[in-house]
Chains A and B, each alone.
Chain A
């Protein structure tokens, strides 16, 4: 979920989220909305702010998506990978600009779903120009059913994924099957965890017999109590962003919570490392493309979305980033590509079957204000 989340940024999360809750709602200032009904003409220039390593890049003989899109649509595209994480988004883009009623300077930004919900509740997003996205019909409906945007008119999923466990059998000397296995004292000081609150607490809730998709303050605090006890024993070496990959490879971690996209990359590089969805279940999430109010080229934003939702293009992106594509038909497109791409079509991480999907949970149930309080305690525990 957070391909480049750093420790520093993680520690800043609580403060940023606190500020998020404190900001007044409906702060649109002088931002203009795109005309409804028709996005009009493209200005010929598109600016997109995305997470690092979240699109296929140019390779010899194989231009990346940005290059191909630019050539196909004659659009000059400024593609930035500066969206290091949602804290960056909040601190550098949304708080100082969008919440203050100023244009962000971007036509497309890709925050995580909970932040999208917040932006939408503040009325800061343009409607997606559906008239320019006929490939919208290729989107998996399971990612469109959010309570905060019925009909998905203001956001479109970019990539989805889930959090599970990656372990090194040579170090654990046994199979890891459940989250509770990570809490085995035999692994004290050899365990890593990702730094996303909803994911860590989600696992602890599952371990407690609670359901993270119906989270309450009580069940979340019970999970935090347990986390506090676990951290106090020294079970967890550290909470990380995607540095967990290096920690696994170096042997610092015997096992850790990890993101599905990282598992795909590791599978090729270190097939001895195993990725599993714990017996208790895994935690799902997705990042979405949004068009902030004040965007200058809504039409080209729609064109890019249409390009990205073409199964053949989506398959190239999947091959590069290793996350779950929201586009139906990617599996078939990978098979058509053949070679390594076709091998990915069989990946249970990229294409979880129905049985696996049943064991994946979205965090839901708590309010943004409650989450700020929970996040503060989470940071206190994990930062100590």
Chain B
């Protein structure tokens, strides 16, 4: 004769008081174990997603925007070195080499941060290839520029290089930004998934605990079973901790997104649009192509729809610009959320106006040679000023963003271990509480 079927054993156990206690303890244990499993899954998922945002998708996004600034700097310097004639400007050449080397390092950094993310790696492979091509075209332009009879060929090489840089910035780097942005979004979306289920399971376990205690009070006529109360309190603490950590880290991430990331996106667009205007203007200076001028104007209008007057600059500083002077600078001024960031945007706006003023002088130059002189000198210097301002704003946004992600990660760092410890404590206390009552019947 084998053992009785489980339902029969349960029914038999339910006929005695200690048996009923045992059944309640088993049911509560199952509920708490389920809660432990759900909480472990949800909190570690929340933590890993937050940490991934902090260590991977966030920094990838930031490094991608820095790549734009480096490429813009490299191209501005290369163009200036080329336009300075056969005896190139060594300082511009040095700046070009420095910025190009930095672009390469940033590609490597992004690759290392992205780890196995195939989407990012595939774009990066293309960017690396294009960067090599770009450097080759610049070298060809440089070599040909030294041959007095080959200026048309030299121009053609530089035009190809500038167009390629523009294509990298407006195409591949933008794709990279989109991919990195999607990756960050995935990490943010992944955080709360599972947490709701864990909270429901935890709440259910609490209900079972509560019902068990009610049964104990009714059967034993004792008001308080200290271990069971402790188990309830521990479970409640676990529930509150998980919920609070999720809420606080979510707030930190939202702050990081609002204060840092949104500004990064606008500043990166600013950098790209400014670079587009500069690239098109350079091409217009070399080729005399009016269509390039129109393109430069369109990009410039994207940067600022109207002139940046001293009044507008003062308003940006005070946080009263209300989107003036329109365009991306207007958006950046609205996104700036501290006196320092507003000051950086105000400077960026001023330096952009300085650049557009020198472009106006360049266009009014009496001869192509005079225009080249302005392009190499004041226009290039003014654009570099703008580009450095973009980097300054980007640096501030990056710090805010990474600090926000860091804070979010900090707030979830101890959650999985803490919640699990509390729930395991609750489980043990609950078993102890029931055992105390069962022992009364021995």
* A contacts, CB < 8 Å to B: 36-39, 127, 129-131, 133-134, 136-137, 140-142, 144-145, 147, 150-153, 211, 213-214, 281, 354, 357-362, 364
Contacts and interface: CB of A to CB of B under 8 A. Distances in A.
Contacts of B377: 354
A141 B392 CA distance: 12
Interface centre among B87, B339, B342, B377 (most CB of A within 10 A): B339
6 contacts: A134-B317, A134-B346, A141-B382, A141-B388, A147-B98, A213-B91
A214 B395 CA distance: 27
A144 B90 contact: no
B209 to A, nearest CB: 46
List of 10 A-B pairs having minimum Cβ-Cβ separation, nearest first: A37-B338, A151-B392, A151-B391, A141-B385, A131-B339, A131-B343, A150-B391, A130-B343, A141-B384, A213-B94
The dominant DSSP class at the B interface is: helix
Interface in B368-397: 377, 381-382, 384-385, 388-396
A145 B384 contact: yes
A151 B340 contact: no
Contacts of A213: 90-91, 94
B317 A137 contact: no
A357 B340 contact: no
A361 B90 contact: yes
A129 B395 contact: no
B303 to A, nearest CB: 17
B350 interface: yes
Contacts, number: 100
B340 A37 contact: yes
A130 B341 CA distance: 8
A150 B339 contact: no
Contacts of B340: 36-39, 127, 129-131
Interface centre among A133, A142, A145, A147 (most CB of B within 10 A): A145
B220 to A, nearest CB: 57
B299 to A, nearest CB: 20
B381 A153 contact: no
Contacts of B90: 211, 213, 281, 358-359, 361
Contacts of B98: 147, 364
Interface centre among B90, B340, B389, B393 (most CB of A within 10 A): B340
A361 B97 CA distance: 14
B91 A358 contact: yes
A294 to B, nearest CB: 19
B66 A150 contact: yes
Contacts of A36: 338, 340, 396, 399-400, 403
B63 to A, nearest CB: 12
Interface of B: 66, 69, 73, 84, 87, 89-91, 94-95, 97-98, 102, 317, 337-344, 346-347, 350-351, 377, 381-382, 384-385, 388-396, 399-400, 403
A213 B92 CA distance: 11
B381 A142 contact: yes
Contacts of A141: 351, 381-382, 384-385, 388
Nearest to A143: B388
A364 B390 CA distance: 24
Contacts of A145: 73, 95, 384, 388
Given A142-B384, A362-B94, A364-B98, A134 B343 contact: yes
A147 B66 CA distance: 12
A81 B22 CA distance: 83
Contacts of A129: 340
B338 A153 contact: no
A153 B95 CA distance: 19
A151 B394 contact: yes
A309 B337 CA distance: 25
A141 B92 CA distance: 13
Contacts of B89: 357-358
B382 A151 contact: no
Contact of A144 (B337, B382, B385): B385
A130 B347 contact: yes
Contacts of B384: 141-142, 144-145
A147 B391 CA distance: 11
B278 to A, nearest CB: 13
Contact of B350 (A137, A152, A153): A137
Given A134-B346, A142-B384, A145-B388, A150 B395 contact: yes
B338 A152 contact: no
B375 to A, nearest CB: 13
Given A150-B388, A281-B90, A360-B91, 4 more contacts: A38-B338, A145-B73, A151-B392, A153-B395
Nearest to B342: A131
A358 B94 CA distance: 11
A147 B340 CA distance: 22
A151 B395 contact: yes
A144 B102 CA distance: 16
Given A130-B343, A134-B317, A151-B395, A144 B388 contact: yes
B347 A214 contact: no
B44 to A, nearest CB: 30
A153 B390 CA distance: 11
B97 to A, nearest CB: 7
Nearest to B338: A37
Nearest to B105: A147
B68 to A, nearest CB: 12
Contacts of A147: 98, 102
B347 A137 contact: yes
Contacts of B341: 37
A205 B94 CA distance: 16
A145 to B, nearest CB: 6
Contacts of B399: 36
Contact of B94 (A137, A214, A354): A214
A364 B98 CA distance: 10
B386 to A, nearest CB: 8
B233 to A, nearest CB: 38
Contacts of B84: 358
Contacts of B343: 130-131, 133-134, 136
A382 B382 CA distance: 42
B385 to A, nearest CB: 4
Nearest to B77: A145
B76 to A, nearest CB: 10
Contacts of B351: 137, 141
Contacts of A281: 90
A39 B87 CA distance: 46
B344 A357 contact: no
Nearest to B382: A141
Contacts of A38: 338-340
Nearest to B102: A147
A354 B390 CA distance: 25
A61 B87 CA distance: 49
Contacts of A133: 343
Nearest to A38: B339
Nearest to B377: A354
